[in-house]
Amino acid sequence: MAGGGPGGTPSVLVVSPRRRPVRAEVATSVSRVMDGLRVPVIAAPMAGGVSTPELVVAVGAAGGLGFLATGYLSPERVKEQIRRTRALDRCPFGVNLFVPGSPSGADLTEYSRVIERESRAIGVAPGEPRWEDDDYRAKLDLLIADPVPVVSFTFGAPTASDVRRLQRAGSRVVVTVTSPAEARLAEATGADALCLQGIEAGGHRAVFVDDGHSPAGGPAHELLELIRSVRAEIDLPLIAAGGLADGASIAAALAAGATAAQLGTALLRCPEAGTRPAHRKALTEGRATALTRAFTGRPARGLVNTMLSRLSETAPAAYPEVHHLTAPMRAAFAAAGDPEGISAWAGTGSDRTREQPAAGLIDELAEEIASRR
């Protein structure tokens, strides 16, 4: 993944040589990405319907790079999202995969009772707390058979063998990390770049292993500190993520050593995003953000609401079991347009979000970044 300021010389991410021919479309797209992004901005993959083909294409057409999120989608649905993105525009884009962990083994008896009580109060039954691997292997095989320019991973590092398979297919590989220790593990797989997620980031923490007790699930590095620490020992392109919602914060991340900035929260109010109305409403209310396991069993940063405040203290570390347990309750609140019971993921830059088309936002960010250099 390459970046550079508007009008400046782009940083180029060199890829291991491909060992077999790839589709012309993929080879062309990879070449375009390697030439450098016009704007060093990447649209974060946001699972749950927020990252749409329309958002991916709008960011790509404006000079950035968009990502599709495959979390919670079936392989068939992923294939359709990729098809639709290609049909809308030929700009390069990426696809993100969740690396599966292992069943937590946590005792969910008491928390299941709590969620059942909260769910029944709004007229729905709780979900079944179950573990599954999000069809990881099937999605990976799909991306190797039908390559895209960039594939990123969250919640862990892929195996070195899988990284090589993707690279041979023509994709570059990015691994999301939250600490220097995770960065070293990701580098060892042969990844082409790292996405550094600071504690400020909205949505799920990308920790490889949730420690089960600390709010962040592990070390809580602020973004600029994380960039400097990883840059001091790893010579790979670094993508900064966490609390970046304007040109000033992006410029600071680039100055600290990042190649590009990955934005999620900043895009939530764009019309192309699949953000639910209740979530959009909450973003305009000046709410604070907090880390919680209440909705999914994995640390995540979201806007503070009634359920987050009520459930966070007792929520167990059990992902995706808790995600499935609370899904009907969250869906009911969302359908009612009530932000008090949804997982309204957002980072610390939520108070700086803008309601405007993605292309206009990227253009404004490009101007703001340029003015800071």
Please state, in angstroms and rounded to a whole number, the distance separating the CA atoms of residues 210 and 119.
26
- Among residues 220, 219, 229, the alpha carbon closest in space to that of 256 is found at 229
Q: How many CB atoms lie within 10 A of CB 76?
A: 11
Return the bridge partners of 241, or none.
197, 262
pLDDT of residue 248: 96
pLDDT of residue 131: 97
Q: Encode pLDDT of 225-270 as tens digits.
A: 999 999 999 999 999 999 999 999 999 999 999 999 999 999 999 9
Q: What is the DSSP letter of 28?
A: H
Q: How much is the mean pLDDT over the chain?
A: 91
Classify 236 in phi/psi space as left (phi over 0), alpha (psi -120 to 50) or beta: beta
The pLDDT of 302-317, averaged and rounded, is 98
Report angle CA 199, 274, 291 to the nearest 5 degrees.
20
Please state, in angstroms and rounded to a whole number, the distance separating the CA atoms of residues 230 and 330.
37
Contacts of 12 (CB under 8 A, 6+ apart): 2, 34, 35, 36
Please state, in angstroms and rounded to a whole number, the distance separating the CA atoms of residues 97 and 175.
10
Q: Encode pLDDT of 5-37 as tens digits.
A: 333 333 334 333 333 344 444 443 333 444 478
pLDDT of residue 195: 98
Q: Encode pLDDT of 177-194 as tens digits.
A: 999 999 999 999 999 999
pLDDT of residue 37: 87
Please state, in angstroms and rounded to a whole number, the distance separating the CA atoms of residues 23 and 317.
42
Q: Are 143 and 95 in contact (CB under 8 A)?
A: yes
Q: What percent of the chain has pLDDT over 70?
A: 90
Structure tokens at 92: 């390069």
Say which amino acid occupies 78.
V
pLDDT of residue 15: 34
Phi first, then psi: what are they for 260, rounded to 5°?
Answer: -155, 165
Q: How confident is the model at residue 316 (pLDDT cuts 50, 70, 90)?
A: very high
pLDDT of residue 28: 39
Rg (C-alpha) for the chain, rounded Å, is: 19
Where would I find the H helices in 89-196?
Answer: 109-121, 136-145, 160-169, 180-188
Query: Where is pLDDT greater, at 24 or 218?
Result: 218
Give the rounded distance of the alpha carbon of 245 from its chain centre.
15
**Residue located via tokens 């016009």:** 38
Q: Using CA of residue 257, residue 258, residue 263, residue 265, what is the dihedral sign? A: negative
3-class SS of residue 359: helix
pLDDT of residue 10: 32
Return the bridge partners of 167, or none.
none
Query: Where is pLDDT greater, at 22 or 157?
Result: 157
Please state, in angstroms and rounded to a whole number, the distance separating the CA atoms of residues 273 and 341.
21
Contacts of 87 (CB under 8 A, 6+ apart): none
The pLDDT of 92-98, averaged and rounded, is 97
CA diameter of the chain = 58
3-class SS of residue 116: helix
pLDDT of residue 352: 92
- Among residues 203, 204, 192, the alpha carbon closest in space to that of 259 is found at 192
In this predicted structure, the answer to whether residue 160 has a pLDDT above a threshold of 50 is yes
Strands 260-263 and 41-43: parallel
Where would I find the H helices in 200-347?
Answer: 223-231, 247-256, 277-283, 306-311, 321-335
pLDDT of residue 372: 86
